[in-house]
Amino acid sequence: MHGSIRSRRALGAALLAITLAGAAAACGSGDDAGAKAGGTYTIWDPYPQYDDASAWVKLLGSCGTAAGVTVKRTGYDTTDLTNKALLAAQQGNAPDVLIVDNPVVSTLAEAGVLTTTADNGLDISAIAPNLVAAGQTGGKTYGIPIGANTLALYYNKAVLQAAGVDIATVKDWASLTAALGKVKAAGKKGITFSAIGTEEGSFQFLPWFWGSGANLRKLDSPEAVSAVTLWSDWLKQGLAPNSVINNTQTTSWQEFATGEYAFAENGTWQLANAKKAGFDYGIIPVPAVTGGTAPAPTGGEFVSVPVQKDAKRYATTKQLVECLTNVENSNTTVTTLSYVAPTVAVQDKQVAANPDLKVWVEAVKAAKGRTSDDLGTKYPRISEPLWTAVQASLSGSKSPADALAAAQAAAAAATK
């Protein structure tokens, strides 16, 4: 799985992991710990779909060879990885390199599982600051982003043409809503997205929330109310279907793939499906309320270094991390994992090789981490009231203002 799907699962795993951190359960890390002797270094990642023949696993092996050690790699489902990392750290059996989804970094850092980039002398100066921010808490950085993806708007060229909409005119919320009105008048459907009552719904709402100028520390601000009102009005006016209340990003994409919708909010990971859709499509960034690109949340993982009993291991671990994140190998990694690179140098190479990625690079440049603004582990306790408010407003059970007032009260109580 890619992007925000993995991010959604990871965030749920982070919450579960906090609960499980104190459990006296075996995590299966004993074999890995024993394997560290004799020049073997362990790497855990959330990519179980890649086997030993994949470019990803071959890269890990080549980085081990370059560092003069053998790499023992294990790919876990994201949920398992987060839980195992916490429990392994408790038992003193943490892997040498841990690759985890960005919302989990703050949880592991605050639990004392991870070392900082400063501890290990890792240079992050070339990494985009907005991407690094997802791995920062308490003024310290706990890893290096391996790549990123985010959200944008796919559009159906034929639907817009039939409705007399020039995509170049869609630059802000007002012009987007006007375009949706023309599409509806032409007998087609407007926009589909995921507003499901889970982290996936928050992930999709955040570009509109942040694009309004709202801040996650104040869910009931006038800006936040305007963002929820935008979505609610779309449903009331028939510009978006009621199905969005239960849509995942997958089911939302399936609606767009019917060819009946003008727009769909979705991620980089749908590019292959877009090419198979059977109709001409384009992509634009999610617009901010008055124009420009709205900040969308980042998906993607961080390469981190867990705390080790033997400090002598860090020097070799640093070599492994630098190998995985250098310019040459980063290009291989982001291509394999379908990500936008975290450095301008590799982003330029990606766009040169595939011009379709240009809009995604621009979206990633404007994106931000959900745990940024030093929210850290507070984010999940804010996100749930937020998605609950969106659900209440879209279903008509509460006004946007009332729903967000309740959300702010719940978030404030949960983050004391």
pLDDT at 28 over 60: no
Residue 43: in which H helix or E strand, if any?
strand 40-45
pLDDT over 50 at 182, yes or no? yes
> What's the rounded mean pLDDT across residues 241-267?
97
SS3 state at 88: helix
pLDDT on residue 253? 97
Question: What confidence category does residue 155 fall into, taking pLDDT thresholds of 50, 70 and 90?
Answer: very high
What the block records as the tokens of 185 is 């008048």
Mean pLDDT confidence for 348-358: 90
User: What is the overall mean pLDDT for the chain?
Assistant: 89
Phi, psi of 266 (to 5 degrees): -160, -175
Give the pLDDT score at 80. Answer: 86
Does 306 share its domain with 213?
no
Question: What's the pLDDT band for 25 if we cut at 50, 70, 90?
Answer: very low
Whether 266 and 396 share a structural domain: yes
Is 197 found in the same domain as 249? yes
Say if residue 144 is in the same domain as residue 172: no
pLDDT per position as a tens digit, 90-134: 999 999 999 999 989 999 999 999 999 999 999 999 999 999 999
Query: What CATH number did the domain enclosing 361 receive?
Result: 3.40.190.10
Instruction: Write down the pLDDT at residue 356.
Output: 85
Residues 100 and 170 in one domain: no
Residues sharing a CB contact under 8 Å with residue 63, sequence separation 6 or more, in sequence order: 71, 319, 320, 323, 324, 329
**Closest Cα partner for 33 from 306, 389, 386, 346?**
306
Vertex 321 angle, CA 136 and 309, to 5°: 80
Helix (H) or strand (E) holding 55: helix 55-67
How far are the Cα atoms of 102, 185, 342 from residue 142, in angstroms, in the given order?
A: 10, 51, 15
Give pLDDT tens digits for 381-411.
Answer: 999 999 999 999 999 999 999 999 999 999 9
Contact (CB, 8 A) for 8 and 72: no
Rounded Cα gap, residues 131 and 145, in angstroms: 7
Which of 334, 327, 313 has the alpha carbon at shortest distance from 42?
Answer: 313
By three-state DSSP, how is residue 72 classified? strand
Same domain, 383 and 315: no
- Judgement on whether residues 197 and 344 belong to the same structural domain of the protein: no
Q: Which residue is listed with tokens 């240079």?
A: 123
Question: 191 in helix, strand or coil?
Answer: strand
> Domain check: are 100 and 155 in the same one?
no
pLDDT at 49 over 60: yes
Band of the pLDDT at 36, cuts 50, 70, 90?
Answer: very low
Q: Check residue 337 and give its pLDDT.
A: 82
CB distance 389 to 404 below 8 Å: yes
Say if residue 226 is in the same domain as residue 357.
no
Asked if 408 and 268 sit in the same domain, the reply is yes
Domain that holds residue 387: 151-296+375-414
* 176 SS3 class: helix
Strands 301-304 and 144-145: antiparallel
**Better-scored residue on pLDDT, 230 or 11:** 230
Residue 372 gets which letter from DSSP?
Answer: T
Supply the pLDDT for residue 10.
35
Q: Which of the listed residues 366, 389, 404 is the one where a domain comes to its end?
A: 366
Taking CA atoms, 272 is separated from 275, 276, 331, 393, in Å, by: 5, 7, 19, 33
96 and 214 fall within a common domain: no
Share of the chain above pLDDT 70, in %: 91
Q: How far is CA 194 from CA 4, 129, 200, 205, 257, in A?
A: 12, 28, 7, 8, 14
Q: Which helix (H) or strand (E) holds 262?
A: strand 261-267
HSE, CB side, 13 Å, CA atoms: give it for residue 64. Answer: 19
Instruction: Write down the pLDDT at residue 78.
Output: 81
- Residue 30 has a pLDDT of 33
Q: Rounded to two decimals, what is the model's pTM?
A: 0.83
Higher per-residue confidence, 335 vs 223 = 223
Q: Looking at the structure, do residues 138 and 165 belong to the same domain, yes or no? A: no
pLDDT value of position 14: 35
Task: Provide the pLDDT confidence category of residue 289 given band limits of 50, 70 and 90.
Answer: very high
For the four alpha carbons of 130, 366, 389 and 20, in that order, the dihedral sign comes to: negative
In this structure, the strands spanning 261-267 and 189-192 are parallel
pLDDT of 378 over the 50 cut: yes
- Total structural domains within the chain: 2
